[in-house]
Chain A
Amino acid sequence: MTDVPGERLRLVRVLTVGFAVGFLVVRLPHLLNLATYGADRFEPVGVLAPLGQPLDPALWRAVVLGALPVGVAFAAGRATRLTGPAFAAALLVIATYRSSWGHLSHADNLFTLHVGVLAVASALPRRRPADVLRLLSLVTVTTYVVSGIAKLRETGIAWVTGNVLRDQIAYDNVRKAVLGAPSSPLARHVVGHGQLLAVAALVALLVELGAPVALRSARWAGHWALAAWLFHLGVLAVMAITFPYQLSGVAYASMLPLERLSRRAARWRRAPRSSAASS
């Protein structure tokens, strides 16, 4: 990645920060509603762990609403030394507060960390785009390896028999159904196929523990990113669990040659005008 152009880093910043802003917009009603939750449900985590009680509702709403224009400015590349750290700090507080009500939202970790890396990089006077992109990819890869280690630590080699995965799929879908939420229509078909589940469990483990191969070359990165994306698609299909950042593909943007797509799109946009001019 030594000759990666700054163009890719710019595109990654637009996509990653844009995703985070989109997350805030889509989740805005839910986020603002947290101000009405009772203190008896408050279980602060992470940087908010020292809090003894929920944030003042007015302060909470100000943080959420204030983060939006700052995030848009950061994504657009405006005053990034200020807007980058400010947005990353606000996003960290918002995502942490969202996870401080008894349930840690694991879908929010990676983009919160990625925005943090981009913010620190934007605040530095000198930085090499290739180094920043590599750090983003390292964060991505490490989260997958940690997930794989968690599976082996909790269940040992039993994970690859597929039984743990089968019971997880069944448990998760029944929990959704009895709590009145949509569950996967595929689950009841999948749980009867032990061999398929054993293969799926092994593939999931390989994708997670094998994530470091993405750091070898652009080609390996592309193959691994596709495998990881398919893994999340499978989770969505059989468990109705969405990891929007991963499924959007933005989580893997730092590994992919986005600048080629950008240049191709620019050529495609110019082509009709040049042919019109020559006629």
Chain B
Amino acid sequence: MARHLVSIAVVGIVAWPTLHVRPRDDFPLSTYPMFTASRGRVASFDVVVGRDGNDRLVRLDPRLIADSAEVMVAAETVTGAIVEGRASRLCEDVAMRVRRPRIVRVEVRTEQYDTIAWLRGHRRPSHVRAWADCRVPR
């Protein structure tokens, strides 16, 4: 009997977040919402990019964007900075980390794509909104 009660309790604890009327993700008890959102084909991405001396776009990696190897941390960092009005500060932070001589400017921006078309090679964004632009200090 005690064994069954313990089993029920363990299942209840692990499933607890999903039993709420408004499930809320947390750690380590989670609703596991990965891959569940209905994204649609057209999506916006908050990014930080570099520009070289010829104004060509250079993609920056999560280490430069957020001082982290995690792409999700980079994504949340950029979105958080935009939403909270800290895009200029993030731009300057990233510019300080960029040590590549060919990158002269950094931009914080939102790019919109048809993601299926992007995978098929159509890489031009359908819409771009710039939030901050700063020079890389030398």
Contacts and interface: CB of A to CB of B under 8 A. Distances in A.
Interface of A: 30, 33, 36-37, 40-41, 45-46, 92, 95-96, 99, 101-106, 108-109, 112-113, 116-117, 131, 134-135, 138-139, 142-143, 145-147, 149-151, 153-155, 158-159, 164-168, 170-181, 187-188, 191-192, 241
Interface of B: 3, 6-7, 10-11, 14-15, 17-18, 23, 25-41, 43, 45, 47, 59-62, 64-65, 67-78, 80, 84, 86, 111, 113, 115-116, 118-121
A179 B75 contact: yes
Contact of A95 (B28, B62, B69, B116): B28
Given A106-B32, A178-B45, A30 B10 contact: no
Contacts of B61: 179-181
Contacts of A170: 39, 41, 115-116, 118-119
Contacts of A46: 26-29
A179 B65 contact: yes
A37 B11 contact: no
A102 B73 contact: yes
Nearest to B35: A168
Contact of B6 (A92, A135, A146, A154): A135
24 contacts: A33-B67, A46-B27, A102-B76, A103-B70, A104-B25, A104-B26, A109-B27, A135-B7, A138-B10, A146-B17, A147-B34, A155-B38, A164-B36, A170-B41, A170-B116, A171-B39, A171-B43, A174-B115, A178-B45, A179-B59, A179-B74, A179-B78, A180-B60, A191-B119
A168 B39 contact: yes
B11 A45 contact: no
A143 B113 CA distance: 33
B27 A173 contact: no
